[in-house]
Structure formats: structure tokens, C-alpha cells
Amino acid sequence: MNFKTALILALVLVSAVPLSADDKKKKQPERALLEKMEAVPCGAREKGLTGLGTVWASAGITHVDSDEKLCPQYMVITDNMEYHIRPADTKHPVILPVGKEIEFKIKKDEMFLRVVDGDKKMEAYHVVSMKPANADAETPAAAAKSDKQ
């Protein structure tokens, strides 16, 4: 009888413990839509002798050519947030297809994303700004307050 009792107890314990008790599952990336792209000023390109200071200025050598540098900035929309992002690699930015679905993960101030139908490479982008997607809609508390007045 002891053997049967031990066998039944062992089966109960094995069935009580789930087979995959792994709490460290990989978090699936979020999905979003690339809404639009615009070229925004992100600095100036300067050519000339600007960093040499007053030594060269006293000699009369102060010529500087500056051009406004434009960077691509994308608007990424999820169900509840709106992100504005710029490429981390400003020298060779990857141009993303507007209107396509992307997968992304956010770590600190960077968004790592890839196009769903595109290649598998994750590209790094800096998050410039973010706001709730329904910020334009009036909140219920604000609607109730305006009704009282």
C-alpha cells in the first residue's frame, strides 16, 4: 500500500506543477503605424574656422559657411500614444515607409523598431516627444466642468 500511496502522491505533485513555469518569457514587441514623415531642422553644418577662437579672429580669419541641416522625423501612432522619433544615426538615416505597420520596443529614450513586412533588422531611433493619442479629445472631467458653468 505504501508504494501505491507514494505513486499517487508523486503524480498529484507532478500534475500540480505546470510544465512550463517560465515567468521570464520574452515580451512581444508593440505594434504601431508610421503615420507621417517630415524634414525638421536639427542643427547647422558649419564649414570654416569657428573652433579656433580669438587667436584666428585677431588675425581676421573668421569666415564660416553654415547650412541648415534637415533630419527626418517620423510620427508613430499606437492605440494610446503618439511618438515623434528621429534616427539615431544622423549621417546615414534609414528612410522608413510611411503608412506601414512597425514593431517596436522602447528602452530609456530610444525606440528600436523594424518594419513588419520589411527586413528583420532593428533600427535605433531617438524619441523626441510623446503624448497620449486621445489628448485632442475632451476629457470627461473637463466636459463636466464646462457643463456646470
List of the chain residues with pLDDT < 70: 1, 17-25, 44-67, 135-149
What is the reported pLDDT for 8? Answer: 85
DSSP character string of 4-68: HHHHHHHHHHHHHS-S-----PPPPPEEEEEEEEEEEEEEEEEEES-TTTHHHHHTT---EEEEE
CA distance 19 to 121: 33
What is the reported pLDDT for 148? Answer: 52
Question: What are φ and ψ of residue 98, in 5° steps?
Answer: -75, 140
Instruction: Report the Cα 42 to chain-centroid distance in Å.
Output: 18
Q: What residue ranges do the domains of the chain occupy? A: 29-135
CA distance 114 to 121: 6
What is the reported pLDDT for 120? Answer: 85
